[in-house]
Amino acid sequence: MSPLRPLTLLLALCLSSSLQAHPVVGDPARYVSTTLAVQGAVEQAQTLDLPALRQLVQQHPASVTLKRQPDGVSSTLRGVRLRDLLAQARIVSKDHNDVKKTIIIATASDGYAVVFSWSELFNSALSEDVLVYLEKDGAALGDDEGRIALISAQDLRTGPRHVKWLQRIDVKKVVE
């Protein structure tokens, strides 16, 4: 066997584990999220527990169906659009151009974070399918997703902006 082959295999193993969105270390139950904070550059910061989130889902229901390739399995997710949560918190804006300098960061209890621009969420079709979801295929989320999760279902690859164990939404101005 070539002396490079074991090194190549080791490198491949290391890289494959680092490419996972949420590498689970130990029991996933320790990451379970049961509240969601919406904070930062908003007029009304909020911490929403599961009953409050379920009430929002009732007021602003949204669902997406994800089709996975190549196995063809699909899942239906039910929750509330991220833009509806942000509209409720009211993003701070001094003038109509101020929001164009705003980013939204969704962070999981394990530290994983993803970023959206204001334009993606309020000025594009993508926003229809950026979902904070509580149910998958008619059942509450399990420990593996943490009761509260987020996905950007229109992304070409949904994995990078799939946030299991969603805990916090931070609204930030990137330029003053």
Cα–Cα–Cα angle for 94, 100, 106, rounded to 5 degrees:
105
- For residue 24, the model assigns a pLDDT of 54
| pLDDT tens track for 124-143 | 999 999 999 999 999 999 99
Q: Where are the beta strands (DSSP E) in 62-158?
A: 62-67, 74-81, 102-108, 113-117, 130-136, 139-140, 149-152
In the predicted model, what is the mean pLDDT of residues 1-17? Answer: 38
pLDDT tier, 23 (very low <50, low <70, confident <90, very high otherwise)? low
Query: Looking at the DSSP assignment, which residues form a beta bridge with residue 76?
Result: 65
Question: Range of 162's domain?
Answer: 26-173
Per the domain annotation, does 3 fall within a domain?
no
**Number of Cβ atoms within 10 Å of the Cβ of 46:** 15
pLDDT score at 20: 42
Residue 103 sits in a domain whose CATH number is: 3.90.420.10
pLDDT above 70 covers what percent of the chain?
85
- Is a pLDDT exceeding 80 seen at residue 13? no
Higher per-residue confidence, 91 vs 2: 91
State how far the Cα of 30 lies from the Cα of 121, in Å rounded to an integer.
30
Q: What is the rounded average pLDDT for all residues in the chain?
A: 85
Question: Structurally, how many domains does the chain consist of?
Answer: 1
Alpha-carbon gap, residue 172 to 35, rounded angstroms: 20
* pLDDT of residue 4 exceeding 80: no
Q: Both tokens of residue 130?
A: 């950026």
Q: Let me know if residue 6 belongs to a domain.
A: no
Q: What is the pLDDT of residue 87?
A: 95
Within a domain: residue 121?
yes
Q: Among candidates 23, 163, 18, which has minimal Cα distance to 105?
A: 163
Q: Is residue 19 part of a domain?
A: no
**5 part of a folded domain:** no
Question: Has residue 147 been placed in a domain?
Answer: yes
Q: What pLDDT, on the 0 to 100 scale, is given for residue 98?
A: 86
Measured distance CA(49)–CA(37) in Å, rounded = 9
Q: Tell me the one-letter amino acid at 12.
A: A
Least confident span in 52-56, 80-84, 92-96: 92-96
CA angle 65, 22, 56 (to 5 degrees): 45
Q: Are 78 and 135 in contact (CB under 8 A)?
A: yes
Question: Does residue 15 belong to any structural domain of this protein?
Answer: no
